[in-house]
Structure 1
């Protein structure tokens, strides 16, 4: 358990590559450095160096997630000497924190079981021995929900009672459980139908009551709840992907210092910290949420109203000035007033087109408030327009790829180049798109940054990257000329692409290191 109260747990898996020696051949003999090096062999690229702001993670399949649960259930079952379904229910109640579960159970087994919705230790339902039939002495029964009567014989086969003793007919049980699973999406916390009873309906009776399809959904919901409860697990948010990311280096307390971007096996990026379905580096999760809310709600509409409208001083109706004259007449209450000082127009005498009245307090306050609102709006629009422009450009990547692919085919035919030789164009497009995404989020960050020397350095890096991206983008849009022009274009694009990548790495590296060094201050 972490010091700030967050619950953490880790699962260990045996590495399939354990014991593998990359310097040994299939016969187990060591290969010398001279034999291993072949100047004619292709050079193997070194894996990218791990940065201090990067996190370690693994992509898991659903089968691995199920294996994790099984392993934990068996461990707790052995330690507490309870049935497997009891161990599973306890783990779900304690959010799969086995240490906390063991502490509570050994301290007070009855309280731990009852709070989890299970029978106390003296109850046969928590024993590892075979369960005695709760219907050993059947008697006539009336279901308290549907009011159907059952004979002694029917009670034994057509009704069901949990360990709490509350009995209902199987038809009502089935309808209740199916509704909980299919409509409410409930799984591990389905409780007894009796009002006020918190006894949990375990997996065994549910599987017996429902069809195979509903049972399958029930177990899928249990798996989803397991992932949701685990602070080190997160679903890949991209459509059609069923993989789960495991990362134990990005707890909530670290999200002011890290932007934990990970790549799923489906090829898409996501932020492990907030689940954003793409990389939002270099901005931390908290700022991204503030920015998206600011862009989505009506806060900027209110800013526009403050900057461009005023309220009638008599009926408080909102008025927008649509002419040059300062003599205003409210259409609602017919009140005539001065747009500049908001005072009654009758006091202006014959000064129809100017206002020389000045109220030391209210006049200055009104103008200051108006100016501040307009300045705030202009500042927001400055950053939002640039953020939206890079977002729009990045969204056009499909068209960008298509036009580039046509040019690549044209270069092949006109310059007699191979498909490998024209790949420089596609790599340049990849570089441009990645840089535009980074630039987009850099404007979000710049909007909230406090003005200081560090901010100026950040904006210098931002400016240099933006210039480089625009230059490369312009080169990629040039028409294909003769063979000489193609060779020159290839050289230019290759050099510019390398420069864009360098500027991108500088901006990203400096910004993300700045979080670890606590260099950035925000206005929120």
Structure 2
């Protein structure tokens, strides 16, 4: 079918579970070398660090100590400044040394009380409940407005339960802009759940608000962050978290090489279908009928690529389940029957990991194919040839890793003399398939630059 071009494409949740890698307790350093064609300049290696929560806390402590030392203020005040300026130490220092007084007023760190309590007063009235309390039962921040500790606790707890805004709580007095320091929160909040909430907001603020080079892993429930470091102009943002989730650091979507982020973050078929219903319901005029046909062609073209995209995603999820089955059941059987240790059988796991990765790449090649301009017939033909060869190679590997392996799991009780030949075959297919797909990614990221486009005829 001769499809017309449009600008809708895939934006679907992956639904993937975390994969199967055991990591050490220290921060993992990922290094991935991108391959590029000799006709273009090679990209720099991509280095990134996967940060655990304790690593992020250490970064926070370092920044807090630095600001406290440089500005000669206590750490509570340093925290207030860093939170206000989104953890930018340089911004804090620039603003502070330009005008300390203005900064103090802006963030709510007052040098002098707005309200002075009479030292002679034994009982002091709370500004919230209006009861009288002994001085030791009253607490104030830098403004001096007096409130009983019970009211302070209720006020702060409510702010914590309302979300991350609790990191910069202001005095309860409506006209006051004095900020509540972390020291008061530590003293008054005793419920462990509320403490944990506050600490979690405080920790996450360092990544979410302050560091452009650090992002939280988008996998549900993951507690790790990724420090991407210096980008060096690279367009390869694929990172692997300690939870084993592969994602694009740039757009935080599922890893989508070889296509770029712009191809991923687009409209879904639902939007196009809604447009179709709007225009096909009334065919009173020739213009509307033509428009309806054009939109139908657009949808047909979209679905041609989307169905294949979705099929590969489904196959990838199935491969993940097959890998789980291999690791949970089949490796032990193979180890006993073939007299191989499970370490020696790692080549079977490697094969399935490669299948999973190939399915991911193949899935996104359909997004790439969707965006090849209609008039570039030579490029499209070459792309379809490469894609077809990739599918054939992947199916060959899949058949060997699944059906041929199953023979040695189920159909023999004694060590097979053919198992070593099978091992060599599977290792070879894994290597060949990996190389082909790496070259496919390289070619598509280079936009098939070696293709001589002459479709004017």
Instruction: Tell me which interval the TM-score lies in, with the shorter structure as reference length.
Output: 0.7 to 0.9
Equivalent-residue separation in structure 2 for 1:49 and 1:184 (angstroms): 40
Partner of 1:225: 205
More displaced stretch, 258-267 vs 442-451: 442-451
Listed as ranges, the matches of 1:445-460 within 5 Å are 445-451=368-374, 452=376, 457-460=382-385
Contact (CA 8 Å) 1:415, 1:486: kept in 2 or not?
A: yes
Task: State the Cα distance separating 1:232 from its structure 2 match.
Answer: 1.9
Note the alpha carbon deviations across 1:179-199, whole angstroms, 9 max, x for none: 111332433211121224332
Contact (CA 8 Å) 2:126, 2:148: kept in 1 or not?
A: yes
Contact (CA 8 Å) 1:237, 1:275: kept in 2 or not?
A: yes
Task: State the Cα distance separating 1:306 from its structure 2 match.
Answer: 5.2
Of the three residues 350, 364, 368, the one matched with 1:441 is 364
Task: State the Cα distance separating 1:246 from its structure 2 match.
Answer: 1.5
Relative to structure 1, is the Cα distance of residues 457 and 93 closer, same or farther in structure 2, using a 3 angstrom cutoff?
farther
Equivalent-residue separation in structure 1 for 2:216 and 2:49 (angstroms): 12
SS of residue in 1 equivalent to 2:105:
helix
SS of residue in 2 equivalent to 1:211:
coil
SS of residue in 2 equivalent to 1:396:
helix
Alpha-carbon RMSD? 3.6
Relative to structure 1, is the Cα distance of residues 70 and 417 closer, same or farther in structure 2, using a 3 angstrom cutoff?
closer
Partner of 1:310: 281
Note the alpha carbon deviations across 1:56-112, whole angstroms, 9 max, x for none: 111223233222222222222222222221122111111121222222222211111
TM (norm. structure 1) is 0.67
Relative to structure 1, is the Cα distance of residues 401 and 266 closer, same or farther in structure 2, using a 3 angstrom cutoff?
closer
Partner of 2:112: 123
Of the three residues 378, 387, 394, the one matched with 2:316 is 394
Task: State the Cα distance separating 1:138 from its structure 2 match.
Answer: 3.2
Of the three residues 314, 336, 351, the one matched with 1:428 is 351
Listed as ranges, the matches of 1:6-85 within 5 Å are 49=33, 52=43, 54-85=45-76
Instruction: Report the count of equivalent residues.
Output: 401
Partner of 1:510: 443
Relative to structure 1, is the Cα distance of residues 160 and 413 closer, same or farther in structure 2, using a 3 angstrom cutoff?
closer
Relative to structure 1, is the Cα distance of residues 196 and 265 closer, same or farther in structure 2, using a 3 angstrom cutoff?
same
Equivalent-residue separation in structure 1 for 2:373 and 2:169 (angstroms): 49
Equivalent-residue separation in structure 1 for 2:128 and 2:300 (angstroms): 63
Contact (CA 8 Å) 1:411, 1:486: kept in 2 or not?
A: no
Equivalent-residue separation in structure 1 for 2:325 and 2:89 (angstroms): 56
SS of residue in 1 equivalent to 2:93:
helix
Q: Over alpha carbons, which structure has the higher Rg? A: 1
Partner of 1:283: 259
SS of residue in 2 equivalent to 1:79:
helix
Is 1:106 aligned with 2:29? Answer: no
Equivalent-residue separation in structure 1 for 2:87 and 2:128 (angstroms): 35
Task: State the Cα distance separating 1:270 from its structure 2 match.
Answer: 2.9
Equivalent-residue separation in structure 1 for 2:341 and 2:182 (angstroms): 61
Contact (CA 8 Å) 1:161, 1:168: kept in 2 or not?
A: yes
Equivalent-residue separation in structure 2 for 1:134 and 1:460 (angstroms): 83
Contact (CA 8 Å) 1:158, 1:170: kept in 2 or not?
A: yes
Query: Which structure 1 residue ranges, 5 or more long, are not aligned?
Result: 1-15, 17-46, 126-131, 312-340, 343-361, 518-524
Relative to structure 1, is the Cα distance of residues 409 and 71 closer, same or farther in structure 2, using a 3 angstrom cutoff?
closer
Equivalent-residue separation in structure 2 for 1:478 and 1:384 (angstroms): 28
Relative to structure 1, is the Cα distance of residues 137 and 514 closer, same or farther in structure 2, using a 3 angstrom cutoff?
farther
Equivalent-residue separation in structure 2 for 1:288 and 1:301 (angstroms): 18
Task: State the Cα distance separating 1:491 from its structure 2 match.
Answer: 5.2
Task: State the Cα distance separating 1:454 from its structure 2 match.
Answer: 5.5
Relative to structure 1, is the Cα distance of residues 489 and 208 closer, same or farther in structure 2, using a 3 angstrom cutoff?
closer
Partner of 2:432: 499
SS of residue in 2 equivalent to 1:234:
strand
Partner of 2:131: 149
Relative contact order (alpha carbons < 8 A, sep ≥ 6): 1 or 2 greater? 2
Partner of 1:274: 251
Contact (CA 8 Å) 2:273, 2:299: kept in 1 or not?
A: no
Of the three residues 116, 133, 138, the one matched with 2:121 is 138
Of the three residues 191, 214, 226, the one matched with 1:245 is 226
Listed as ranges, the matches of 1:88-107 within 5 Å are 88-107=79-98
Relative to structure 1, is the Cα distance of residues 57 and 423 closer, same or farther in structure 2, using a 3 angstrom cutoff?
closer
Equivalent-residue separation in structure 1 for 2:313 and 2:163 (angstroms): 36
SS of residue in 2 equivalent to 1:195:
coil
Equivalent-residue separation in structure 2 for 1:80 and 1:49 (angstroms): 42
SS of residue in 2 equivalent to 1:283:
coil
SS of residue in 2 equivalent to 1:56:
strand
